[in-house]
Structure 1
Amino acid sequence: MEEKYKNHFRDEAIEKIEYYIIKNKIRPHEKIPSERDLCEMWGFNRTTLRFAIQRLVIEGKLYQKKGSGTYVSEPKLIRNLQNLSSLSEEVRGHNKTLTSKILDYRVIESNKETTKKLHLTLGSKIFVLTRLRYIDEEPVTIETSFMDYGRFSMLTNHDFSKESLYSVIEEEGVTLTKGEESIGITYATNYEAELLNIEPGKAVFYVSGIVYDGEDHPVEYFKSIVTADKIKFSSVLT
């Protein structure tokens, strides 16, 4: 019974904070009142209020600066799992700016994994592209694409820090028609954390999948590490 009342007050505190932000039109990166002020305003104890704030931080609705306070976060970019559009298209649709930094850009021999995913023979040449993607100058994802070099050798002539991979592919006459994607949770390595400007060991999305053309031939096998506080995924149930 005591735990039930705790949960009730915690949920109420979360709702009050969210309503306060909306009612007072507090914009992203603006500060909300201190824990002490909010407790006095609503009569909550500090433990309950602190729990509510931390829950909203985890959900990506608030963020904190040590020694400064608590601030409203930018809304997350929502990626539709049933949409084959590129990240470039998704970001433009939200009136944001996408930029990229090339981390890896080379041709290698396929291993067992890429051979199976791309329906190739072992040792075939594979084009590998790894990019750190930024939304409004904030790092949000590390994306690695694997593609058949024999089919897409022209990709080495493009600068994918400035160009969209999918746009280049379609300009070559290849139509992307469908894909399969899986999403899980992993924990950022020291290297990934440094690139994404997060704490090592923080939970992140691990996304992998294959994109096909109109003849059901694999075009791209991809892997991505995505920050959970900047992007969320949605789907439509039917």
Structure 2
Amino acid sequence: MLNKNDVVPLYKQLQEELRKQIQSGERKPREKIPSEIDLAEHYQVSVITARKAVSELALEGLVEKKQGKGTFVAAQKYQRNLQQVISFSEACRLNGAIAGSRLLECKLINADQKVLRELERPDGEQVLFISRLRFINGEPMAIETNLFPITYSFLLNESLNEKSLFDVLKKRSGTEVAISRRTLEICRATQQEAQQLIVAKGSPLLLIRSIAYSTENQPVFVGTQLINGERYQFTM
């Protein structure tokens, strides 16, 4: 319980108590926390004190207030530095998380002239299309689509579930991705994307478009990542 004789204000004590419950995992992500009235009654403080404690937690990003629904423990935001050229799997490792993937499609397709120019391939040449659903700790987090020059068609015979494409490329062909030109924008989830990422249709997604180059400055792939915008935080 809280110590009313402590020099630390009661709202700060309650804030710290709730923070410990969240950070220890006692209160799970997306779990609804007690109302301010219930908190006030349980910890024997005023509703104003409880409201102040919850508001401070919201400013920290530990809880989210949803109009008409209550206050919920915020889901963890994963960090990623866009200046680093690393795989999705490596980014997960740096966040202390486990990456996963499920192959959606892997096939040869006819590409438009823009893609062929970006890949520095002749008109009319087919490209390898690979689409995967990426997971973090078992939770669907991104839809990843990459277009490779046909010279990488050996990937058709690879099992790409639960594997890092960067690792496969290095092992099979000695190719290392060294440079990536990226653009970042916001889009809204379509019905299909929403179903795959388990979000509401129209939810904000982060769209990253990239052209990746090898250490020899040769195009490796043109790709897009559609990422759950509520769960990721980027630095540059």
Common fold by TM > 0.5: yes
TM-score for the superposition, normalised by structure 2: 0.78
Superposed displacement of residue 202, structure 1: 1.0
Q: Which secondary structure does the structure 1 equivalent of 2:210 belong to?
A: strand
What whole-Å deviation, never above 9, does each CA across 1:34-90 have from its counterpart, x for those lacking one? Answer: 1434577451798x999x59x959x97436899996432342111111111101111
**What RMSD over aligned residues (CA atoms) do the two structures have, in Å?**
3.3
- Quick one: which amino acid aligns to residue 180 of structure 1? R
Q: Which secondary structure does the structure 2 equivalent of 1:233 belong to?
A: strand
Q: Which residue does 2:19 correspond to in 1?
A: 22
What whole-Å deviation, never above 9, does each CA across 1:127-184 have from its counterpart, x for those lacking one? Answer: 11111111111111000011001x2121111111132111111121112211111111
Q: Which residue does 1:167 correspond to in 2?
A: 167
- Kindly indicate whether the alpha-carbon contact (under 8 Å) linking 2:99 and 2:162 is maintained by their aligned counterparts in 1: no
Report the CA distance shift for 1:81/1:25 in structure 2 as closer, same or farther (over 3 A).
same
- Kindly indicate whether the alpha-carbon contact (under 8 Å) linking 1:35 and 1:49 is maintained by their aligned counterparts in 2: no
Give the count of matched residue pairs.
Answer: 216
Trace 1:80-95 onto structure 2 (pairs within 5 A).
80-95=81-96
Provide the rounded CA distance (Å) in 2 between the counterparts of 1:45 and 1:92.
Answer: 37
- 2:206 maps to 1:209: no
Q: Which residue does 2:48 correspond to in 1?
A: 43
Q: Which residue does 1:179 correspond to in 2?
A: 180
- Kindly indicate whether the alpha-carbon contact (under 8 Å) linking 2:204 and 2:230 is maintained by their aligned counterparts in 1: no
Q: Which residue does 1:197 correspond to in 2?
A: 198
Determine what percentage of the aligned residue pairs are the same residue: 28
Q: Which secondary structure does the structure 2 equivalent of 1:152 belong to?
A: helix
* Larger-gyration structure (1/2): 2
- 2:132 maps to 1:131: yes
Provide the rounded CA distance (Å) in 2 between the counterparts of 1:16 and 1:105.
Answer: 54
- Quick one: which amino acid aligns to residue 113 of structure 1? K
- Kindly indicate whether the alpha-carbon contact (under 8 Å) linking 2:14 and 2:53 is maintained by their aligned counterparts in 1: no
Q: Which secondary structure does the structure 1 equivalent of 2:180 belong to?
A: strand
Provide the rounded CA distance (Å) in 1 between the counterparts of 2:193 and 2:13.
Answer: 36
- Quick one: which amino acid aligns to residue 48 of structure 2? G
- Kindly indicate whether the alpha-carbon contact (under 8 Å) linking 1:60 and 1:76 is maintained by their aligned counterparts in 2: no
Q: Which runs of 5+ in 1 are unaligned?
A: 1-14
TM-score for the superposition, normalised by structure 1: 0.77
- Quick one: which amino acid aligns to residue 105 of structure 2? D
Provide the rounded CA distance (Å) in 2 between the counterparts of 1:203 and 1:97.
Answer: 24
What whole-Å deviation, never above 9, does each CA across 1:3-61 have from its counterpart, x for those lacking one? Answer: xxxxxxxxxxxx99965533555535155331434577451798x999x59x959x974
Provide the rounded CA distance (Å) in 2 between the counterparts of 1:33 and 1:195.
Answer: 31
Superposed displacement of residue 95, structure 1: 2.6
Provide the rounded CA distance (Å) in 2 between the counterparts of 1:231 and 1:193.
Answer: 16
- Quick one: which amino acid aligns to residue 81 of structure 1? L
Q: Which residue does 1:12 correspond to in 2?
A: none
Provide the rounded CA distance (Å) in 1 between the counterparts of 2:53 and 2:233.
Answer: 25
Provide the rounded CA distance (Å) in 2 between the counterparts of 1:124 and 1:183.
Answer: 28
Report the CA distance shift for 1:21/1:117 in structure 2 as closer, same or farther (over 3 A).
farther
Provide the rounded CA distance (Å) in 1 between the counterparts of 2:209 and 2:38.
Answer: 45
- Kindly indicate whether the alpha-carbon contact (under 8 Å) linking 1:181 and 1:207 is maintained by their aligned counterparts in 2: yes
- Quick one: which amino acid aligns to residue 43 of structure 1? I
Provide the rounded CA distance (Å) in 1 between the counterparts of 2:53 and 2:15.
Answer: 12
- Kindly indicate whether the alpha-carbon contact (under 8 Å) linking 2:58 and 2:65 is maintained by their aligned counterparts in 1: no
- Quick one: which amino acid aligns to residue 119 of structure 2? L
